[in-house]
Structure 1
């Protein structure tokens, strides 16, 4: 019975003490395999979370904001509204106990030790993909596709990406201010945190990040953050002072044009204005800021997604400085997790290089051996499993339930010609395989980039036909300077570059 507040308090302390003993007992056992070690860490993590939640409830009881605990203690001493009567309080309590047992005649004493000892044999459910192999390797194919299909990335192999993803200092600053880079960095940090929490559940990530933040703030104030040394800001100064042009030295647009197109472009970009057009158009746009404050300047002169403010020729960066600082902090956190996962990253790269050197048959055999090793590491002898329906095996090495087999449609076969007519069972596995190594290798052999345009395409002929159409469309949209670049003669006639060059060669203009 735990109907009274004091009984609830006593049960809470007993539960905390019992879980502490279980944690000590569990940690005294050395796990034989990495899989068992991971299970042990998650068991301990779950027990620590239970202790924390129980302790928080006990703190609320001891704070006694509604004076319920104080009244209950007073009632045990016989202090009632009519005065002090110890015998009355005793018989009231006795009546309550008898009433409880009258309503629950079949109640029996439960041995809590047996129930809690069962927790030491528990195997927590941990979500790992086949590529991650119980935390041995990283599965970053989605982030890799996001990287190579972006403006800040480059078309490289997956193995090379594992070398460069933890080095954001090599990416130019102007590409880091884009929304696309911010979303990529958020997704990358989110995945690394999720992977780290699954593989290292006993690590206090909040404490690690608090130290990273404190070091980052100090380095940012001193302009010493790696990759952002020239982008620090102090006392409200703009982070792009080197791009300023003092307009007081120029009285005409022609004089300003002598600065050159590149410097004009940098000055306009720092101000948040459009950077396109000829040298004269750039100079005219920048010269407007000499006499007109930016807040009064027409919005058509500003680039999308930027904002500017300036007065008396002073140029202030149009980029959101706080946003750049947030991106730099995400990079610092990402680097710290990469340092903690350095061994896993190296193992992932070695695994990718090894797979690239194998044939399809050898890859499949290697993968089956890996899965078998993970499932049978803790067992010295193989056990015969009764599986008449030939259902797929689950994470625990046993056949999955038949209802789950039907729910995910695992009896439905999908074949992919690009993967060498390899069969995928179930819609989920079929959709996921477009981002996996086998399909990527097949597309690479065809000389076709594995982008979202080719999702759901499994035929080599269809993939080649679509790639041909994309190339033709790109060729039509390509700028042809000999036909589209315009020239003007002295009389104001407009010609394209090819015609103008021919007439000039003939001396007609």
Structure 2
């Protein structure tokens, strides 16, 4: 039985070396399409995972806690046995071992290395995820819209994609419940699983561990965004020395406090977590009720929703643990979305495209995905022609603008709108505008306005079509000269009125008066 231990050690080393050779050989092949890269990464992950497991087995053998390896080595070095008899005895034991274990090859790869390198490991993706290209948050969105405490039933899926990781949009009082925590746990679980399926060679262990460590430090200091009060609501320790408060010792009654002003009283009430509505006298009375009292002693009806202080240590501990768990989940989800920022952007574009597509276009896209999936299953060569066409750069020698579908617009449309005509604006830093429409529109855009502002020239309609800096300066100087020359002249601009109500300038009025006509 002892010889099987050394044979197992030898087999493990061999399997590790073979896995390393397969990884190097697989990476030597250039995977051009998304599907091919994904399959390659999962094959490599299988090999790496096998190396990790076999390395653990080897460490257990070399630790030799039961002493079996030591006994075997001592038995092989025994001098009381003949060399040949010992050799044939070990050979017989090795053959018996291999006879009992015929499948000592790599469990994660096929015996034929070429066949393994052509294989495509099965990875479960939904139709919306499109082999790891997009996120599928429909279930999470449904949970959010159906949540009565924190959700919004009128929120569309596209709007949800734009706000689901912005947790500040949800009021904190709506978060302090188990339903919201379960929602965050489902979202976190999906994002971790999707990241592992779409990027199998990337590890989330170190990034998430760093996030949790930073979170613990910030939580102790009370610096976690939107959780500075740790979910405990208003408390005396957190409002003490707040510059927004009013020193009530300087006032004898609520009437004296009204002299401070409604806005200042409201600011102090908000800082204390109290209700800030009502008339000036009501707000003053509410604030004066806190004079000489701790917040915990006040009537809970005076506090705004979600700002009520805790009454006992048990309630405080329960709320604190729930708040910390929720805040940590929010930080984890933010960190995950930073890693998958491009995937989220692509998902939004895909949802917008589907929303503006006709039924026929949607059916065609589905058929294309099905054909592509069948081609992946039947291909087996690590290449995907359809994916290559989709992922590679489209041949566009004329630099024709790209349409909504990601392909160049028709050439006749390109010529019709004059997009082949280039207009340069020196004021905009020699920026090029293609087409007359874009050129005319840019005179009211931020780039041109900034350029005119840098020149010290007001951007008026008079400067439309002016793109040269020298021409703009010349026109501006000419305008200033005309404005200075056209001033007020008493003879021409001073008006006089006769007895009949007729209006004349000063020069005409005096001439008519001298002639006796007035």
- Closer, same or farther: CA 10–108 of 1 in aligned 2, 3 Å: closer
Cα deviation for residue 89 of structure 1 reads 6.9
Cα deviation for residue 170 of structure 1 reads 2.2
1:115 to 97, 111, 117: 111
Q: For the residues of structure 1 that align with 2:121 and 2:49, how far apart are their CA atoms?
A: 14
Match of 1:153 in 2: 151
Cα deviation for residue 325 of structure 1 reads 1.9
Q: Secondary structure at the match of 1:126?
A: coil
Q: For the residues of structure 1 that align with 2:65 and 2:97, how far apart are their CA atoms?
A: 33
2:127 to 126, 130, 133: 130
Match of 2:185 in 1: 186
Cα deviation for residue 138 of structure 1 reads 1.1
* 1:369-388 mapped onto 2 (5 Å cutoff): 369-376=368-375
Q: Do the aligned partners of 2:4 and 2:97 also contact (CA within 8 Å) in 1? A: no
Q: For the residues of structure 2 that align with 1:198 and 1:107, how far apart are their CA atoms?
A: 33
Q: For the residues of structure 1 that align with 2:338 and 2:97, how far apart are their CA atoms?
A: 61
- Closer, same or farther: CA 378–9 of 1 in aligned 2, 3 Å: closer
Q: For the residues of structure 2 that align with 1:246 and 1:319, how far apart are their CA atoms?
A: 33
Q: Do the aligned partners of 1:308 and 1:318 also contact (CA within 8 Å) in 2? A: no
Q: Do the aligned partners of 2:15 and 2:105 also contact (CA within 8 Å) in 1? A: no
Q: TM-score, normalised by structure 2?
A: 0.55
Q: Secondary structure at the match of 1:320?
A: helix
Q: Do the aligned partners of 2:31 and 2:37 also contact (CA within 8 Å) in 1? A: yes
Matched, 1:366 2:370: no
Count of paired positions = 363
Q: Do the aligned partners of 1:245 and 1:267 also contact (CA within 8 Å) in 2? A: no
Match of 1:391 in 2: none
Q: For the residues of structure 1 that align with 2:101 and 2:16, how far apart are their CA atoms?
A: 25
Q: For the residues of structure 2 that align with 1:203 and 1:120, how far apart are their CA atoms?
A: 20
Q: For the residues of structure 2 that align with 1:128 and 1:207, how far apart are their CA atoms?
A: 25
Matched, 1:208 2:207: yes
* 1:153-172 mapped onto 2 (5 Å cutoff): 153-154=151-152, 155-172=154-171
- After superposition, what is the alpha-carbon deviation per residue over 1:34-77, rounded to whole angstroms, capped at 9, x for unaligned? 11110111111111111011001111111111111111111111
Cα deviation for residue 174 of structure 1 reads 1.5
Match of 1:27 in 2: 27
Q: For the residues of structure 2 that align with 1:218 and 1:99, how far apart are their CA atoms?
A: 59
Q: Do the aligned partners of 1:9 and 1:58 also contact (CA within 8 Å) in 2? A: yes
My pick for the range that moved more, 154-163 or 167-176, is 167-176
Q: For the residues of structure 2 that align with 1:343 and 1:149, how far apart are their CA atoms?
A: 28
- Closer, same or farther: CA 87–194 of 1 in aligned 2, 3 Å: same
- Closer, same or farther: CA 2–339 of 1 in aligned 2, 3 Å: farther
Q: For the residues of structure 2 that align with 1:67 and 1:246, how far apart are their CA atoms?
A: 78
Q: Do the aligned partners of 2:208 and 2:332 also contact (CA within 8 Å) in 1? A: yes
Q: For the residues of structure 2 that align with 1:233 and 1:364, how far apart are their CA atoms?
A: 49
Gaps of 5+ in 2: 251-264, 275-284, 297-304, 381-518
Match of 2:226 in 1: 228
Match of 1:38 in 2: 38
Q: Do the aligned partners of 2:239 and 2:271 also contact (CA within 8 Å) in 1? A: no
- Closer, same or farther: CA 248–21 of 1 in aligned 2, 3 Å: farther
Q: For the residues of structure 1 that align with 2:187 and 2:35, how far apart are their CA atoms?
A: 25
- Closer, same or farther: CA 371–2 of 1 in aligned 2, 3 Å: farther
Q: Do the aligned partners of 2:231 and 2:323 also contact (CA within 8 Å) in 1? A: no
Query: Greater relative contact order (Cα 8 A, min sep 6): structure 1 or 2?
Result: 2
Match of 1:140 in 2: 137
* 1:105-504 mapped onto 2 (5 Å cutoff): 115=111, 117=113, 118-150=115-147, 151-154=149-152, 155-225=154-224, 227-228=225-226, 230-232=228-230, 308-309=310-311, 320-376=319-375
Match of 1:476 in 2: none
Cα deviation for residue 361 of structure 1 reads 3.2
Q: Secondary structure at the match of 1:52?
A: helix
Q: Secondary structure at the match of 1:338?
A: helix
- Closer, same or farther: CA 310–32 of 1 in aligned 2, 3 Å: closer
- Closer, same or farther: CA 38–334 of 1 in aligned 2, 3 Å: same
My pick for the range that moved more, 212-221 or 184-193, is 212-221
- Closer, same or farther: CA 307–98 of 1 in aligned 2, 3 Å: same
Q: Do the aligned partners of 1:12 and 1:58 also contact (CA within 8 Å) in 2? A: yes
Cα deviation for residue 181 of structure 1 reads 1.1
Q: Do the aligned partners of 1:308 and 1:316 also contact (CA within 8 Å) in 2? A: yes
